[in-house]
Amino acid sequence: MKIGGVERSFFILAKTLEKRGHSVNIITLGKSSHIKDSSFSVPIVNLTKNKVSTSIFSLVDYLSKNNIDIVISAQYYANIGILIAQKFLSQKPKIIITERTHLNESLKELNILKRSFLKFLIRFLYKNANDIVGNSKSVCESILSSTKINSEDVKLILNPTFVPEILKKAEKPIKDDWVQNSKEPIILTVGRLSSQKNISLLIDSFVELLNLKKCKLLIIGDGPERNKLESKVNLMNLSGKIKFLGFSSNPYKYFKYCSVFTLTSKFEGLPNVLIESQALGLPIVTTDSPGGSREVVSDGKSGLLVKNINKKEIAKNIFELIKNNDLRIKLIKEGKKSAKRFTPDICADNFESLF
């Protein structure tokens, strides 16, 4: 298990529920990696399986032996797995399934056979959950269109993202001359290097930006497209201007050296990284893609939302934030206010109401 936005949200929720007196375990598949938070004490149970389809009976065995009262699952593979496992349990726990990304757009990333089969399972099984949760209005709408479930049966609970720990982590020092001593503005993005995040579009937008302003691009994250993206940068002779940092357990310490945070995803759920950018006072340019980006960023108030999604428009918006200091100050101020909507206690309150 590698730690992305979904995992971070669940870790924060788990920690908050544990502090409130609940006994909480996190169940994962595959190896647990990149978990280096000493403050995280919730037990992590590894089923030692690599696929949900092969883990069903291990999950049944674990739930049966440990008398679990409530299961909260995330994303359609895990949701399908727990709903199938439930059928083999004599003592059935309450099942709360959650979607953390735009369901329809996520399924489009799969081949037609797999997509059709999963759509069938989602429509057939999701109605058996006790509760269904989406983390943005857009995600809730995508659940409704995929399942034909009644709208009152899908609840909106925002991600538990803004925590004081990220402010402390942001104060940590770094040792990176390319970042620390840069004489040019640095554009930042953080996320998994996958097709969904559309980093290729960001690189193309950065090339357009170089026609307007000398600057740099810092990319923090790892994923299946990293080699392809690095090759693209090398072919464009931009390796001195674009840096791939790889995965960082503390990306927040780099934010204070950057001028603009940019997200160019094809689709999202409710992007934690935008909320974290607001909390850390870094102004945002994001694409208005399907999902919750527009629910985090109020265009022109707490960030800039690029509705005409192309490289020239993205570059134009980034340049505007670099040159217009009054706009920067306004977006930073409103962004910090916006981030307060996503506190762990608000999220935990909403889940406890379902319990």
Residue corresponding to tokens 């208005």: 288
Domain ranges of the chain: 5-160+343-354, 164-341
- Give the Cβ contact number of residue 328 at 10 Å: 18
| 5-160+343-354 and 164-341, same CATH topology | yes
Give domain 164-341's CATH number out of 3.40.50.720, 3.30.70.890, 3.90.1210.10, 3.40.50.2000. 3.40.50.2000
Supply the DSSP string of 118-168, one letter for each residue: HHHHHHHHGGGSSEEEESSHHHHHHHHHHH---GGGEEE-------HHHHH
Helices (H), the chain: 5-19, 56-66, 76-86, 103-108, 112-125, 137-147, 164-170, 177-180, 199-210, 226-235, 272-279, 293-296, 311-323, 325-339, 344-354
CA–CA separation, 221 and 313 (whole Å): 24
Beta 186-190 vs 216-220: how paired, if at all? Answer: parallel
Give the model's confidence band at 10: pLDDT under 50 very low, under 70 low, under 90 confident, else very high: confident
Weakest mean pLDDT among 47-61, 133-147, 257-271, 324-338: 47-61
CATH 3.40.50.2000 assigned to domain 5-160+343-354? The reply is yes
Find the mean pLDDT for residues 315-324. 96
Q: Does pLDDT of 198 surpass 80?
A: yes
Assign 283 a pLDDT band (cuts: 50, 70, 90): very high
Residues 6+ apart with CB under 8 A from 176: 254
Is a pLDDT exceeding 90 seen at residue 327? yes
Instruction: Round to whole Å and give the CA distance between 68 and 124.
Output: 24
Digit-coded pLDDT (tens) for 111-161: 999 999 999 999 999 999 999 999 999 999 999 998 888 888 899 999 998
Backbone angles phi, psi at 262, to 5 degrees: -130, 135
Q: How far apart are CA 143 and CA 126, in angstroms?
A: 9
Has residue 38 got a pLDDT over 70?
no
User: What tokens appear for 137 in the block?
Assistant: 């209005």
Q: Which pLDDT score is estimated for 33? A: 45
Residue 267 has pLDDT above 70, yes or no: yes
Both tokens assigned to 11: 């870790």
Contacts of residue 22, Cβ cutoff 8 Å, sequence gap at least 6 = none
DSSP state of 308: S
pLDDT at 31: 59
Helix (H) or strand (E) holding 99: strand 94-99
Say if CB 230 and CB 248 are below 8 A apart: no
Q: What local confidence, expressed as pLDDT, does residue 148 receive?
A: 82
Q: Which two tokens stand for residue 240?
A: 């001195």
Rounded to 10°, the helix 272-279/5-19 angle is 70
Mean pLDDT value of segment 36-63: 81
For the entire predicted model, the pTM comes to 0.86
